[in-house]
Structure 1
Amino acid sequence: MGFADLLEQVGSTGRFQVVHTLLLCLPVLMMASHNLLQNFVAGVPPHFCSAHTNFSASTRMSAAEKLHITVPIDANGSPEKCRRYESPQWHLLANNGSTDPEVWEQAALRGCDDGWTYDERERSSSIISEWHLVCSLRSLKSMGQTVYMGGVLVGAGVFGALADHFGRRVLLTMCYLLMAVSGTCAAFSPSFSLFCLFRFMCGMALSGVGLNSFSLIVEWIPTRVRTVVGTGTGYFYTMGQLILALVAYFIRDWRWLTFAVSLPFYVAFLYSWWLLESSRWLALKHKPEQAVKNLRAVARYNGRRADGKKIDVEVVQSSMKKEMSGCKSSYTSLDLFRTPTMRKMTVCLSAVWFSTSFGYYGLSMDLQKFGVDIYLIQVIFGAVDFPAKVIINITMSYCGRRLSQCGGIVLAGITILSNLFVPYDKQMLRTCLAVIGKGCLAASFNCCFLWSGELYPTILRQSGLGWVSMMARLGAMAAPLVLLLGEYVTWLPGFVFGLVPLVSGIAALLLPETLNTPLPDTIQDVEDRGTGRVSKTEKKEAIFLQDNADHLLKQTS
């Protein structure tokens, strides 16, 4: 008897599992809000240089006339964003508003020494207008998101390792509080540098919330419902994208918006004390007394008090004997690269995770370029995830993981590259291609999680998932930096975002298929599968099936 049998005894799909999973999933709704918050708090409003400080034109002069004599017009017929006339060009008024370049091109120009004027009809404020992150400082917009993703990367390593020592629930509670406090501090930061610091902390906390929530969910539910529950958790994240668009529509000030998406984590921190630590983890950490206490609490909540009383320390120790003996062997991340098949598998999965995250955030973090209402495009980008994830789940079940992963990521690359050939004025077609590409990448993420868990052996499954998760964060960090290339070559970011998924699609084809195959338990199982030999796990399962078949034949005869 293993832990799964203990879980069945106290109720594996009872009221406790429903409430426990729901409470863990609710904060996931707001995780998407923090990941994509940059689209709203760092939206670049229309802007131009402010008029001269000693400008004393007639009060009867309209705002358009003031703008006309202080700011030159660019090639597109719009006011220059980063230059103004050195002195007011009064003669332009005599030309009846003429914008003939011959009239003003000889006039001396200079930078925006007196600041900028922003059109804040769309949003009342943003970090762009707050700290003037335009012109020579425009690269700081993307740098802010990169710093946030850097925090997510660091948090994946720090909180993942700490959870193995101190427990999932304790770290999760700490991350809820860290997310709430650092989000509040970011909302009311007096400087951009402090804003980046607190956003870095938000990123760290978000990683801890995601990792520990997932662990607590899967360690309290049986294997037969993990796929359904895992998919449901992903839909919570998708719904969070829609919630962000709704909240941002009604809260137009960037400070109050940041505070609003951080506030729910205070509530999560308060009710997190009700959550139970994983009894599996407690037993493996030689804390059987606490494991028994938690199992009995689950039994009471599920209406199985009598069954819970039958579980004591000896029962837990005997049931977990196999797992406890297995945890004596120590493995490190280096074991992901020691043997040929493991090394090939890790490199290919790293490419798939990196490119999926890279393309996903490359599309999701630059919604203004589509020329569509940003709230509408956020809703569309979030809604497309629902059918995309349904389709990928169907294809994974019938066509396999390899073709599903490769098809999803290659199709995303093709749609992104296709947008390079669509004229900028055809915004509807450009938006449709981007929506398809984003849906394919969201589906690819779903496949990544399941396939990676099936490829890595039991003894290294968490280390493997941790490694590829870090590769995904590197992709997310690289995405805003690549967007900066658009300042020099407008088509280059789209080319890079489309090319990288195409190349990683080839890497996906090099990975073995896992549809309807048993999970590998050891590194040797993985190596045997890579060389075409039957692994010990598969051999045992084949013998078991054969024995059952013989038994059924005897009964029939």
Structure 2
Amino acid sequence: MALKECQIEPYQRCGAPKEFPDAAASVERRRKLVACGAQQMDAAEREMVEEPEGTTTDDALRKVGSFGKYQRLIVFFIILPAIVPSAFHSFNQMFIAAVPGDFHCRLPPTLDRYNLTAAQIQSLLPNAPEGEGKDQCHMYDFDYNFVISFDNDKGTHVINQTIPPDHRQIECIYGYEYDRSIYNSSIVTEWDLVCDKSFHPTLALVLLSIGEVLGTPVFGYLSDQIGRKRPYLACFVIQLIFGVATAYAPNFPVFCVFRIIVGGTYGAIYSLPFILALEIVGPEHRATVSVLCSITYSLGNIGLAGIAYLVRDWQALALYTSAPLSVVGLAWVFIPESPRWLIARGRVEEAKGFFRKAAKLNGVTIDQTFLDSLGKEEIQQQRLSPPGKRHTFLDLFKTPNLRRNTLLLTFVNFGNLAVYSGLSYYGPALSPAPHLSFFLSGLVELPGYLFVQFTADRFGRRMPQISCMLVGGMACIAAVTVPESSPSVFMVFCLVGKLFINISYLIAELMEGELIPTVIRSEGSAFTEIVASALATSVPLIVYLGYQYLSLPLIIFGVLACVAGVFAFFLPETFGADLPETVFDGEEFGKHTTMRERFTLFPVKKRSRSSISADNRDELRHFSENSDQESAIRQRERAPSVVVA
């Protein structure tokens, strides 16, 4: 037996605490509360309890087709194409701000007339302090004309003497010469961001992440208040404008301002269509749609590797990776508003329009009774809610179970985000073939999606996620033990780590959408994302350590993945469960999970909320009409829980 949240109030009038069934420990105490509650319930409340149960959003989607023609058209031709350019601005800055493999001080312009070879120029540069190679940041304070002469026999200029190594050295007052074999230009070569400014490219990445931290809660709030559709429009308009503006930044400070603004959108520009895709399909297809969204994102990364390989100029790359956003604007008008959000906000008539259109294109016949039942439960709950009641992400922390799940999700998300983005940055930043490294890093993600598609509906969410985080973390740590003479083996371990952490990331995104209640799903997802992103702003700094200590970033990423995997063990299983609609649903979700269930390899699908509600209605009617209260108590005792959604 279970009681809806709105049904508990009469029992509170009898002296029951807020969590009445859990607090009423003894049979006698519960018997008295049931009898009193039945008497206290007024006519209006009885009418609402005995009224036929409303159709939940999940049941409605099953009725019109969980993933029918209408949803497939939206997903395949609108949402998925819109996700591709979102990957571009997540990682194009690695190439826009790439550091050339080699550089050195530019010699005085007066030496240009000698047409010195690269070897001759190297001989005029001081040795590096470490004794290996040449010093990239200093030159001799010397008149080089004294060591250059013309060799009549060879018909060219030669270096006729060696500059003493202990001669006075100065900084590169004439600028720098760069190896342009990989990059024709980047902001590093444009504004000489090397030597004493070598931290600037990393700083730009940190500021991009800070932009995400600042922008994500804004778009999360807007998407819960005004819907998913209009904030998404704002996202790609802002990203288009400032993505193009990036190419025309006159200096590094202005470049950073533009990238902060772009960063404010690149989290939401992926999560909003992702959430919308999950909210227009039934529970049976959420894993499939989640996989499709992530595959598209990975294809965007692979496409970025190809674009960056073909376009080696940073300004042109900024333009080419921003231009596809203009196409997204053309498809925006065809994107529907989320029916879940509409019902949660009491805009049932608009939600009916979605289901009518879905039923028509899916070839399903629906009647007026079905349409009238939509949103009935939500409207009743709103009627009993305090005036002006508005849900925010703070509701995630008002009850213990929902608070615990939120904190666990946040840390797991941080572990996934930090390791995923860290490995994505690590290879291209430190590899002699950055385009190939990034291409393989994106390509290796694709097999993981097949893995998720195979396991998510067989082994659930939790166990695959835990396993993948542990394996990915151990692969990162194992890479540290590979000798420098085996770079291919080293890369294989890094790619294995990326493969499994990507699988974990995908499952975590799916679980987040399934654990956070609909009324605060976008804002709640934004909260977990903002906290994870705020912590992940340290990732570029960790990768920067790799320039000095090559193995240190991998050790940090490996340990973090393993710790997050342990935390994921305490999350509830969401496989086959209806999405929680209200905050009360979210609090009850997984609240009574046993330790045996946590170790279950093949989780059992949970009963739908509609069937439970029917049980609640029948039993509550029994309490109000049957004078045999002891029989009612015995019936209640056989139920595993008293208050469930």
Q: Give TM-score scaled by structure 2 length.
A: 0.74
Instruction: Name 1:446's counterpart in structure 2.
Output: 506
Counterparts in 2 of 1:227-246, with a 5 A limit? 227-246=287-306
Equivalent residue number for residue 490 of structure 2: 430
2:438 equivalent in structure 1? 378
For the 8 Å contact 2:287–2:457, the answer to whether it is kept is no
* Residue 239 of structure 1: how far off its partner (Å): 0.8
Gaps of 5+ in 2: 1-54, 150-157, 598-605, 619-645
Q: Is the 8 Å Cα contact of residues 341 and 518 (structure 2) preserved in structure 1?
A: no
Partner letter of residue 439 of structure 2? V
Partner residue in 2 for 1:402: 462
Q: Which has the higher contact order (CA 8 A, sep 6+)?
A: 2
Distance 2:247 2:506 in 1: 32
1:327-366 equivalent positions in 2, closer than 5 A:
328=385, 330-366=390-426
Q: Which residue of 2 is the match for residue 49 of structure 1?
A: 105
Q: Partner residue of 2:7?
A: none
1:411 match: 471
SS of aligned partner of 2:104: strand
Out of 5, 13, 24, the position equivalent to 2:79 is 24
Give the direction of change, closer, same or farther, for the CA distance of 1:456–1:98 in structure 2 (3 Å limit).
farther
User: Which residue of structure 1 aligns with residue 119 of structure 2?
Assistant: 64
Q: 1:284, 1:507 → 2: CA distance?
A: 31
- Deviation of 1:527 (Å): 7.2
Structure 1 distance, partners of 2:256, 2:572, is 41
The Cα offsets for residues 132-189 of structure 1, whole Å up to 9 and x where unpaired, read as: 1111111111111121122222222111111222222222222221121111111221
Q: Is the 8 A contact 1:401 1:513 kept in 2?
A: yes
Q: Which amino acid aligns with 2:423?
A: L
* Aligned equivalent of 1:550: none
- Output the CA distance in 2 between the equivalents of 1:510 and 1:10: 35
1:48–1:117 contact (8 Å) kept in structure 2: yes
Identify the residue that residue 555 of structure 1 maps to in structure 2: none
Q: Are the counterparts in 1 of residues 125 and 134 from structure 2 also a CA contact under 8 Å?
A: no
Greater per-residue helix proportion:
1
Structure 1 pair 215–494 and aligned structure 2 pair: CA distance change class (3 A): closer
**Aligned-partner SS, 1:422:** coil
Report deviation, 1:207.
2.6
Q: Percent identity?
A: 27
Counterpart in the other structure of 1:282: 342
Deviation for aligned residue 1:316 = 4.6
- Return the match for 2:592 from 509, 512, 529: 529
**Cα distance 1:84–1:196, how it changes in 2: closer, same or farther (>3 A)?**
same
Contact 1:69–1:92 (8 Å) recurs in 2: no
- Quick one: structure 1 residues 335 and 301, their matched pair in 2 at CA, closer, same or farther if it must change by over 3 Å? closer
SS in 1 for 2:177: strand
In structure 1, how many angstroms separate the alpha carbons of the residues matched to 2:117 and 2:176? 18
Q: Are the equivalent residues in 2 in contact too, given 1:410–1:505 (CA < 8 A)?
A: yes
Residue 353 of structure 1 contacts residue 468 of structure 1 at CA under 8 Å; is this kept in 2? yes
CA distance in 1, matches of 2:115, 2:271: 62
CA deviations 1:483-521 (Å, max 9, x no partner) are 233455444333222222222222223334455667666
In the alignment, the residues of structure 2 paired with residue 500 and residue 473 of structure 1 have an alpha-carbon distance, to the nearest angstrom, of 15
Q: Measure, in 1, the Cα distance between the counterparts of 2:161 and 2:462.
A: 59
**Which of 166, 169, 180 matches 1:120?**
180
Which of 470, 473, 480 is matched with 1:420 structurally?
A: 480
Q: Is the 8 A contact 1:65 1:93 kept in 2?
A: no
2: distance between equivalents of 1:345 and 1:15?
35
Q: CA RMSD in A?
A: 3.5
Q: Distance in 2 between matches of 1:492 and 1:259?
A: 35
**Contact in 2 for aligned 1:173/1:273 (Cα 8 Å):** no
**Conserved 8 A contact 2:208-2:260:** yes
Structure 2 residue aligned with 1:78:
133
Helix, strand or coil for the counterpart of 1:84?
A: strand
Unaligned runs of 5+ in 1: 548-557
3-state SS of 1:365 partner = helix
Structure 1 residue 323 displacement after superposition: 2.4
Structure 1 residue aligned with 2:31: none
Please tell me whether Structure 1 or Structure 2 has the larger radius of gyration of its CA atoms.
Answer: 2
Q: 2:380 & 2:132 partners in 1: Cα distance?
A: 74
Q: Which residue of 2 aligns with 1:553?
A: none
For 2:312 and 2:530, locate their aligned partners in 1 and report how far apart those are by CA, in whole Å.
Answer: 33
Q: Tell me which residue corresponds to 1:319.
A: 374
Q: How many residues in Structure 1 have an aligned counterpart in Structure 2?
A: 536
| Paired residues of 1:124 and 1:252 also in contact (CA < 8 A) | yes
